Structure 1
Amino acid sequence: MSEPVLVALRGASFAYEDGPTVLSGLDFDVREGRALALLGRNGSGKTTLMRLLSGGLRPHAGELTVEGLPVAYGRKGLTRLRTTVQLVVQDPDDQLFAASVAQDVSFGPLNLGLPDAEVRARVDEALAALDITALADRPTHLLSYGQRKRTAIAGAVAMRPRVLILDEPTAGLDPDGQERLLATLDGLRASGTTVVMATHDVDLALRWADDAALLTPSGALTGPVATMLARTDLLQQAGLRLPWGIAATQLLRAHGLLDDTAPGPRSPDELAALATAHTTPPVPADG
């Protein structure tokens, strides 16, 4: 992976007060332009890692860097960090507090001291990106769960971060809501935002991510998603199962239906397309 490192932890350790060490000597990179899935069992430190990357927690040892420069934890340093990295937590109700959608989304830009016109432009842009412009004046307490999720993400997007970190963003959404959210994330990625997603869903990770980071007792191991999620030894350490797409790929190759160099299916639609390609009878030649 040759993409530049935007945000990194170097030798980072953290323990909560009166609790065991959660992370110890951790090295972790977020590379520009790569969609990264963060996976691990409950208690593996995913939430702690995300809060360290976004400045919500400070490592007890080691350091956090942005483009190679150590983060200072004073007001100026944290403001710089939060215009680079934004975290959206799993439960949107932990993040929403203003009376209306537009007011909530405007909170971050207002705190930066931006001119009113710039704040309005950022709010309009974020609402459009999350497809909730029509909800701008809606009271937040009247929103559906999916709408609250989108509003929370819009509040982060309004800060125009280079890195957007999402904790289980598809949890609690119905299939249509998940698809709409993933399409939104694809749009954000296309516009230059690097997205990190913590998830327990290995099938989603395989389909969506470029890279996967597995949190195991021996540390965080990162690599191309299809390679990492085919490592049954690492999956076992991380408390995860083999994605169905990897299992299907192995089966197809074992039966000579997929070349060893060809990418395997990442979604049911891709598997169906492969099946169609192998079952469609050839068109007879003229004559």
Structure 2
Amino acid sequence: MNEPVPVALRGVSFAYEDGPPVLTGLDFAVREGRALALLGRNGSGKTTLMRLLSGGLRPDSGELTVEGRAVRYDRKGLTALRTTVQLVVQDPDDQLFAASVGQDVSFGPLNLGLSDTEVRARVTEALAALDITALADRPTHLLSYGQRKRTAIAGAVAMRPRVLILDEPTAGLDPDGQERLLATLDGLRDNGTTVVMATHDVDLALRWADDVALLTPSGAHTGPAAGMLARTDLLAAAGLRLPWGVAVARLLRERGWLAGDAAGPRTAEELAALRVP
């Protein structure tokens, strides 16, 4: 892989106060333009890793780099980092606090000291990207759960980050809400935003991600999604099951219905559309 690396952790170790190490000597790179799914069992360090990448936590050792340069944890350094990396947490209520949707989305750009014209342009752009323009004046406490998720993501998008990190963004959404959000993320990717998604859903990771990072007790293992999600040893170490699509593809190959080098179906819809002898 020769893609640029906008943000990376180099030799990072971290432990919470009076707690055991969560991450030790971790090397982890986010490659530009690649949709990355981050998977692992509860307690594997996914949330810690995301907060380290976004500057919310500081490594005990090692360093966070942006385009190869170490991040400085002063006001200027962290402000620069947050124009490159934005984290959206799992529960939108932990991130929303302004009276209306538009006010909430404008908070980050205002803190960058941008002109009112630039702030309005960014808010308009972010609301349109998340398909919530009609909600601009809606009080945040009157939003549905899915609308609150979209508003939280819009607030991050308004910062125009190169890397958007999402913690379980589809959790709590109904199937239609999940599909709409995935379509939105595809639109952000098409416009140049690199998206990192933490999830427990191996089937979602298989259909959505270019690359997968599996967090196991031996460290983070990263590679192309189809190959990584077929590694039963790493899946077991990460406390995950084999994705449906991988199991179906194996069966089809055993029956001679799928060529060895052909991509297998990732969803039931793709299986239904597959032509077999």
Fold shared by both chains (TM-score > 0.5): yes
SS of the equivalent of 1:278 reads: coil
| Cα distance in 2, alignment partners of residues 210 and 278 from structure 1 | 26
> Which whole-Å CA distance do the structure 2 matches of 1:260 and 1:6 have between them?
35
Q: Which moved more, 1:2-11 or 1:91-100?
A: 2-11
Distance (whole Å) between structure 1 residues aligned to residue 34 and residue 271 of structure 2: 24
Q: 1:90-123 CA distances to partner (integer Å, 9 max, x unpaired)? A: 0000000000000000000000000000000000
Distance 1:93 1:178 in 2: 18
Question: Does 264-273 or 123-132 show the bigger shift?
Answer: 264-273
What is the deviation of 1:67? 0.5
Q: 1:69-107 CA distances to partner (integer Å, 9 max, x unpaired)?
A: 000000111011000000000000000000000000000
**Which one-letter code corresponds to 2:147 in the other structure?**
Q
Does the 8 Å contact 2:39/2:212 carry over to 1?
yes
Q: CA deviation at 1:136?
A: 0.2
Matched, 1:21 2:1: no
Q: Trace 1:228-267 onto structure 2 (pairs within 5 A).
A: 228-267=228-267
Say what the alpha-carbon RMSD is for the aligned residues. 0.6
Q: What's the CA shift for 1:278?
A: 2.4
Is 1:143 the equivalent of 2:143? yes
- Give the residue type in structure 1 aligned to 2:65: T
Q: Does the 8 A contact of 2:100 with 2:139 survive in 1? A: yes
Q: What is the distance in 1 between the residues matched to 2:267 and 2:133?
A: 30
- Per-residue CA deviation, residues 206-231 of structure 1 (Å, 9 max, x unaligned), is 00000000000000000000000000
In structure 2, what is the equivalent of residue 285 of structure 1? Answer: none
Query: What is the distance in 1 between the residues matched to 2:27 and 2:267?
Result: 31
* Number of the residue aligned with 2:276: 278
Matched, 1:175 2:169: no
After TM superposition, list the pairs within 5 Å mapping 1:124-203 onto structure 2. Answer: 124-203=124-203
Secondary structure of 2:276's aligned partner: helix
Per-residue CA distance 1:154-192 (angstroms, 9 max, x = gap): 000000000000000000000000000000000000000
- CA offsets per residue over residues 2-37 of structure 1, 9 Å max, x none? 211111000000000111110000000000000000
Distance 2:265 2:113 in 1: 47
The amino acid of 2:11's aligned partner reads G
Give structure 1 stretches of 5+ with no counterpart.
Answer: 280-287
After TM superposition, give the deviation of residue 66 of structure 1 in Å. Answer: 0.3
TM-score, L = length of structure 1? 0.96
Q: Secondary structure at the match of 2:131?
A: coil
Question: Aligned equivalents of 2:31 and 2:248: distance in 1?
Answer: 29
CA distance in 1, matches of 2:34, 2:276: 32
Whether the 8 Å contact between 2:52 and 2:59 is mirrored in structure 1 is yes
Aligned to 1:209: 209
Q: Does 1:96 pair with 2:96?
A: yes
Provide the C-alpha distance between the structure 2 equivalents of 1:64 and 1:272, rounded to a whole number of angstroms.
45
TM-score by length of 2: 0.99
Gaps of 5+ in 2: none
Amino acid at match of 2:12: A
Determine the C-alpha separation between the residues in 2 that align with 1:271 and 1:29: 33
Larger Rg: 1
Q: Distance in 1 between matches of 2:166 and 2:16?
A: 22
Say whether 1:63 aligns with 2:58: no
